[in-house]
Structure 1
Amino acid sequence: MAGHSTWKTLKAKRLLEAGAEEHSEYTRAVRDMDLGDRLREVRVARNLTQAEVARRAGISQPALSRIELGGGVPTLEMLDRIGRAMGVRFTISVGDDQAEQIDLLAG
């Protein structure tokens, strides 16, 4: 597992590769890395290894690693499985931050 300083270096490198300008590729790279950062934070806070979460979620450890590094975007179904594997429920917001908020799953 990469150490904290190695992780920050890798993140900075990915952001640099995506480009310094505000454009869709940069925005997507930042979003993917933020998601990966958050998943990693939750996993580490729960004292779970990547291998353990991956096994419980039915995915490979390298796939989980790629997601945590911002190199892969999980489907909603995979996020659900990862959340269940870590014993958490994720809430994800999409769309314009200023727009009206509607809960599609509210019954």
Structure 2
Amino acid sequence: MNHSTYRTRRARQIAGEAVEYDHVDARLAGDLGQAVYDRRIELGLSQAERAGMTQPQVSRMEGGDTVPTLPLLRRLAKALDGSLNVAVDEGDSRVTFTPHAA
């Protein structure tokens, strides 16, 4: 599959196509979405505020429905005023934000 023909897992499911499901990847996407949500709420920000994203983009990411690019992760860390920490090991993952010192 190349980038120009890529469709989201959800779009393929709706179209009735068979979709491979990787629980580790799904958990990592969910962990990332939860970490972004928690940090955003902690800062009192709306979904798209300061991140340069639309509300639907943030919603999809917080819901674990999308895989963000590295530039987007960098933008999120900056917008959420912290360091994004992603630890990936065989069968395990952890995502956290470490706030920058005030």
- TM beyond 0.5: yes
- Residue equivalent to 1:101: none
Residue type of the partner of 2:28? R
Structure 1 unmatched ranges of 5 or more: 1-22, 98-107
**Which structure is higher in strand share?**
2
Distance 1:38 1:91 in 2: 10
Q: Deviations over 1:60-98 (max 9, x none)?
A: 12111100000011112101101111111112223448x
Of 72, 76, 80, 2:70 maps to: 76
Q: State the number of aligned residues.
A: 72
Q: TM-score, normalised by structure 2?
A: 0.61
Q: Match of 1:67, SS?
A: helix
Larger RCO, structure (CA 8 Å, separation 6 or more): 2
> Shift of residue 57 of structure 1?
2.3
- Residue equivalent to 2:16: none
1:94 equivalent to 2:88? Answer yes
RMSD: 2.0
Distance 1:85 1:73 in 2: 18
**Which structure is higher in helix share?**
1
Q: TM-score, normalised by structure 1?
A: 0.59
- Residue equivalent to 2:96: none
1:47 equivalent to 2:27? Answer no
Residue type of the partner of 2:22? E
Distance 1:57 1:29 in 2: 23
- Residue equivalent to 2:22: 25
